[in-house]
Amino acid sequence: MDKKTQRPSVLIIYTGGTIGMVHRHGSNTLGPVKFDQILDEVPELHRFGYNLRSIAFNPPIDSSNMSPEIWVKTAKAIQKNYNNYDGFVILHGTDTMAYTASALSFMFENLDKPVILTGSQLPIGTLRTDGKENLITAVEIAAAKQNGKAMIPEVCIYFDFKLFRGNRTTKRDSENFSAFVSENYPSLALAGVDIRYYKQFIQYPSNKGILNVNYQFNTNVVVLKIFPGINKDVFDAVFHIPGLKGVILESFGTGNVPTTRWLLSCIKKAIRKNIIILNITQCQGGRVVMGQYETSIELLNSGVITGKDMTSEAAITKLMFLLGQKLSMNEIKNHLTKSLSGEISE
């Protein structure tokens, strides 16, 4: 809150992405513009009467180039300005937005202000852009309070009239405006004539405290997707990657894999080498329930960890995050099966 005027204050952090792109002169190639040009395209923002400020990454980051280093840079920008603003809006490319939202949700401890990621499928300067509505509503949600407290004290993604918990979200479509989905958790808000908040699904901080940000990640992880016909050479190559610390195993259905002896043998050897194996489903919705079918009982008995209903993005960032903390192997395994920031249904 702006103490001088009592106006809601929102910091907009422009990291890059389609929302800030324009067509290069004489070509169909998209390139970034200066952030001031984005605000010029959305003069409606000033009608809120909010205290709006902005930070722009230079150069802007294409979301395909997103990395833990950029997550840290983003988190530091929020931490530095945390006491001066009521909420934060991060403009981000859509391709890796769900990864960034998931990572930030684990990095922030004692978060009690909104951190809303948004972007667009069409550049802000195009006639039919979805960027204007996404940005305007994200700013309104970031500023929203009730009884002096933030309506949405979470890391979220706002896109196409829906607000999702960030670590429950996956990009499902590269062409439609409804680019994101949260299959295993309801929307936190819907924007229509009014913005309707669903308080029963919002996670409010139980422990009051100063914001703490954990910056360490260990990227020595890999995603291994099971498919019919996968062979032993693939498994051997993956599990012999130098320095490998963790594997996200994308299995069939509720956590099933082929019951071939060599596959189970590879997994058991990896676990004996203290490589963590986290089992998540390839399905967009649903959860892993190891032991429900015979094809997953051996995984359970071997020490493979259930990822329950985590998204792939949440599983990857959570594993990298936990491996980066000073935790014992048992502590990491224990935290993987429990909800840290609402990423798992208890």
**HSE-CB for 177 with a 13 A CA cutoff:** 13
Alpha helices in the chain (DSSP H): 35-41, 68-81, 97-107, 131-143, 232-239, 261-272, 294-302, 312-324, 329-336
For this structure, is 337 an active site residue? no
Distance CA 314, CA 166 (A): 9
Note the Cα 16 to chain centre separation in Å: 16
The secondary structure of residue 160, as a DSSP letter, is: T
Distance CA 50, CA 5 (A): 10
- Pick from 59, 128, 56: nearest CA to 90: 56
Q: How far apart are the first and last CA of the chain?
A: 35
Distance CA 43, CA 327 (A): 48
Distance CA 238, CA 223 (A): 9
Burial of 338 (0-12, 13-18, 19+ CB in 10 A): exposed
Residues near 20 by beta carbon (within 8 Å), at least 6 away in sequence:
14, 32, 33, 35, 37, 38, 60, 91, 123, 124
Pairing outcome for strands 149-150 and 145-146: antiparallel
Bridge partners of 170, per DSSP, are 181
- Pick from 94, 336, 50, 89: nearest CA to 221: 336
Q: Of 5, 15, 18, 96, which is the active-site residue?
A: 18
Query: Residues with catalytic annotation?
Result: 18
